[in-house]
Amino acid sequence: MAERDLANGIASTELAEGRIVPATLDGQDIVLVRHRGRVCALSGTCTHLKAPLADGIVADGTLRCPFHHARFDLETGEAVGAPAFAPLDRFTVIEEDGQVRIDGPADPVDKPASVDTDTVGPVVIIGAGGAGHACAEMLARHGAGRAVTVIEEEGDAPYDRTFCSKQYLAGKADRDDAALPALEGVDVRSGVAVAGIDREARVVTLRDGARIPYRTLVLATGAAAIRPDFYGADRNDVHVVRGLADADRLIAATADAGSAIVLGSSYIGLEVAASLIARGLEVAVVSGDALPLEKTAGPEVGAMIRDLHESKGVSFHLGRHIVRWDGKAATLDDGTRVEGDLVVAGIGVQPRVELAEAAGLTIADKAAGGGVQVDAMLRTSDPAIHAIGDIASVPDPRLGHPIRVEHWVVAQRMGQWLARHLLGKAEGAYQEVPFFWSGHYDLSLRYVGHVAAPDDRRIDGDVADRDFAVFFAEDGREQAVLTAGRDVLALDKEHRWKRAMPDADGRNSPESDPS
């Protein structure tokens, strides 16, 4: 639908309940939505990465972004679901005589009243990545910041890790653009590591000797990039990309490089390849897989992704492994030599569970993905300790078994849910449908749900034309979808699948549509 200019108002009849109506006011994009009979007017651009919210959906009282699935409260504009944190601007709406018009900006929404920190804290969060930061930010947003201590050892202020392989590495964003919102009132201990956890005393000991007591301890230690083990892998010109410091080193190395070898054809490996192409390097990808992404997306998408990268200049050596690197060329297992100035390994990550293991917490079986075992309330085997993000092995009510996923938005939403739970503002158990996105040049992929393998799949649309949805099933039931060019479908599936999750007594919501 074309945008309407609000200078002359809009007929009330155009605003059906739950319908998004795009409009402009003095050149600014605005969306209008009738919610519970009242018209809400909000700025029309997502505060995360500027996606047009008119292309999203309305669900459960929220406006949802079509690109990265951020959620905004329709009435207040608050960013209630990551990856967005900043609220949308609100506008005063006047509806009379069958017309709707805007009467300027609305008054700011009152901040939540400060909570009694003695009833919440002290809360100690180990890790300031997606999960740890989101948990601390939500606690601080609701007035509990003084009860929170965040311990992070990287030394950087909290940042969006997805920028490391995408915008920042590609040269499309500055380092500062990756910054996440500051943690107002929170005691952030930066650049220091944890030495150990005394569960009996409920104390965290830092390596600098400091002892920090806790009522609730949150482990958000994330994951570490797996380093390759070929001969020469310990050289300085072999890189991984996990954090900003890794991206800094790689960007500096590209200044004197003309070509690069990427090891691995996973999402992270291919994002790195695309980013290095954007920096003007020649890129070769070496992978033991027969096709990129085949193990998660199936061969049809894998072939399309290979062709897309090849069209941008990437060369592939599939079904191969690096056995030796001498700084000038990589020798593959079939004897092929691939010349390059540096190597970047994108071969996965492993959960950082050392602290949890040392504290005697229950660790999930490696065959099930490993990580720290938690219950539906994200509690570990010690009820005073929670685990969130990449390390958490969480029960999935749709699949009927625990899963551990390494998605940025999943980590953030775990942190936000746990904060609300600690504040007494979350009903029931943690129930979020996993979601991630991946960018390849001008192609964006959205993945909702989770399956262990893509073997049972159904394709709707044309994969080669990059307009498709691949539906994946596990044990005969549809559990995940991968889309390109079908953002509303991805949003709708995420919403419907969450609504269809069994409640505490094992029943599905009668209002939900599990299709």
List, for residues 46-73, the tens digit of each pLDDT value.
999 999 999 999 999 999 999 999 999 9
> What does the pLDDT read at residue 290?
97
Angle at 140 between CA 135 and CA 141, to 5 degrees: 100
For the chain, give every residue range classified as CATH 2.102.10.10. 4-105
Question: 213 preceded by cis ω (within 30°)?
Answer: no
Pairing of strands 392-396, 372-373: parallel
Distance (Å) of CA 9 to CA 3, 49, 102? 12, 29, 7
pLDDT computed for residue 45 by the predictor = 98
Query: Residue 378: which residues within 8 A CB-CB, separation 6 or more?
Result: 386, 387, 388, 392, 394, 414, 417, 418, 421, 430
Backbone angles phi, psi at 308, to 5 degrees: -60, -50
Query: What's the whole-number mean pLDDT along residues 251-280?
Result: 97
Q: Quick one: pLDDT at residue 433?
A: 97
Q: Give the angle 325-327-333 at the CA atoms, nearest 5°.
A: 20
% of the chain with per-residue pLDDT over 90: 90
Residue 411: partners with Cβ closer than 8 Å, 6 or more residues away: 129, 130, 131, 134, 220, 222, 388, 389, 390
Q: Is the pLDDT of residue 413 over 80?
A: yes
Is pLDDT at 303 greater than 70 in this prediction? yes
pLDDT at 505 over 50: no
pLDDT, one tens digit per residue, over 118-132 is: 788 899 999 999 999
In this structure, whether the domain defined by 117-224+350-422 belongs to CATH 3.40.190.10 is answered with no
Residue-wise over 233-246: b if at least 16 C-beta within 10 A, else e?
A: eeeebbbbbbbbeb
Taking Cα atoms as reference points, which of 70, 236, 221 lies closest to residue 154?
221
Give dist(CA 490, CA 65) in Å, integer: 11
The distance from CA 291 to its chain's CA centroid, rounded to whole angstroms, is 25
- Alpha-carbon distance of 251 to 269, in angstroms, equals 15
Mean pLDDT over 168-180 rounds to 97
Whether 348 contacts 264, CB under 8 Å:
yes
pLDDT digits (tens, 9 = 90+) for 419-435: 999 999 998 999 999 99
Does the pLDDT value for residue 513 go beyond 70? no
Residue 360 Cα to chain centre, angstroms: 29
Q: Mean pLDDT across the stretch 312-318? A: 98
The string over 157-180, giving b where at least 16 C-beta atoms fall within 10 Å of a residue's C-beta and e elsewhere, is bbbbbbbbbbbbbbeeeeeeebeb
All CATH 3.50.50.60 domain ranges in the chain, comma separated: 117-224+350-422, 238-347
pLDDT at 286 over 50: yes
Taking the domain 4-105, which CATH number applies? 2.102.10.10
Mean pLDDT of 91-113: 89
3-class DSSP string for 62-125: EEECCCCCCEEECCCCCEEECCCCCCCCEEEEEEECCEEEEEEECCCCCCCCCCCHHHHCCEEE
Task: Give the model's pLDDT for residue 280.
Answer: 97
* SS3 at position 252: helix
SS3 263: strand
pLDDT at 213 over 70: yes
Enumerate helices (H) and strands (E) in the chain, giving the number of each: 10, 37
Mean pLDDT over residues 13-25, rounded? 95
What is the pLDDT at residue 204? 98
Do 63 and 35 contact (CB within 8 A), yes or no?
no
Name the 3-class secondary structure at 355: helix
Beta sheet of 123-126, edge-to-edge order: 187-190, 148-152, 123-126, 216-219, 385-387
Question: What is the token pair recorded at 69?
Answer: 């699935």
Q: How confident is the model at residue 494 (pLDDT cuts 50, 70, 90)?
A: very high
The residue type at 402: P
Q: What is the mean pLDDT of residues 351-377?
A: 96
pLDDT computed for residue 9 by the predictor: 85
Tell me the pLDDT of the chain averaged across its residues. Answer: 94
**CATH fit for domain 238-347, picks 3.40.140.10, 3.40.50.720, 3.90.1150.10, 3.50.50.60:** 3.50.50.60
Among 448, 446, 449, 435, smallest CA distance to 399 is for 449
The pTM of the full predicted model, rounded to 2 decimals, is 0.95
Residue 3 has pLDDT above 90, yes or no: no
Strands 194-198 and 79-81: unpaired
